């Protein structure tokens, strides 16, 4: 590029002149007092809570169920989202984990990911609408086998999520 660099915003929230919010890789590589800085994402404002349901999940017959509730109201996108200043549709979501040692570990990791704004994001759906959706960590939104992708039984799910959380620096 010549000396007259464009400041046109790219879809990835970077500008052609290289400015913009730091990428997740840049955030992960920054150091503060000799320690790696905590990785933060672009999740909109929302709330996450959980409750215990006194029923089991397929594949976990001896355990209760942890139900995670996430609520994101409709909002306006900020600079860290795909279309700043434009509205996005909120989300109400329930996700499920077995209430056992591994399920509790995953729950703690998901809480950390939520607090670091890594669990949800704003994205454009197939209809061209900007919506709140899960980011790169899958959630089981069906407590039974009606949908094998989003439901149980899934014997590898907890292990998969723990690995994805570790990849983001969350233990």
Per-residue pLDDT tens digits for 111-142: 999 999 999 999 999 999 999 999 999 999 99
Domains of the chain: 1-37 (no CATH), 47-167 (3.30.390.130)
Task: Give the torsion sign (CA, 57, 131, 161, 33).
Answer: negative
pLDDT-above-90 percentage for the chain? 68
Task: Give the torsion sign (CA, 25, 27, 29, 35).
Answer: negative
Q: Mean of the pLDDT values across residues 25-40?
A: 53
Q: Measuring CA to CA, how many Å separate 61 from each of 54, 78, 108?
A: 11, 44, 22
The per-residue pLDDT of the chain, averaged, comes to 85
3 state SS of 128: coil
- Cα 76 to chain centroid distance, Å, stands at 18
- Contact (Cβ atoms closer than 8 angstroms) between residue 95 and residue 140: yes
For 67-102, the pLDDT digits (tens) are: 999 999 999 999 999 999 999 999 999 999 999 999
Residues 6+ apart with CB under 8 A from 167: none
pLDDT of residue 141: 94
Terminal-to-terminal C-alpha distance of the chain = 43
Q: Is the pTM of this model over 0.85?
A: no
105 pLDDT above the threshold of 50: yes
pLDDT of residue 18: 56
């Amino acid at each position: 590029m010549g000396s007259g660099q464009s400041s046109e915003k790219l879809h990835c929230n970077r500008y052609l002149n290289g400015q913009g919010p730091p990428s997740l890789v840049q955030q992960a590589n920054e150091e503060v007092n000799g320690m790696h800085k905590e990785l933060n994402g672009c999740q909109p404002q929302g709330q996450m809570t959980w409750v215990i349901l006194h029923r089991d999940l397929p594949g976990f017959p001896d355990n209760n169920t942890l139900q995670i509730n996430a609520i994101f109201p409709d909002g306006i996108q900020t600079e860290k989202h795909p279309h700043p200043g434009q509205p996005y549709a909120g989300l109400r979501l329930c996700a499920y984990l077995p209430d056992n040692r591994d399920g509790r570990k995953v729950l703690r990791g998901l809480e950390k990911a939520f607090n670091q704004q890594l669990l949800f994001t704003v994205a454009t759906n197939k209809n061209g609408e900007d919506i709140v959706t899960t980011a790169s960590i899958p959630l089981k939104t069906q407590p039974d086998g009606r949908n094998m992708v989003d439901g149980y039984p899934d014997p590898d799910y907890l292990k998969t999520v723990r690995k994805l959380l570790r990849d983001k620096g969350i233990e």
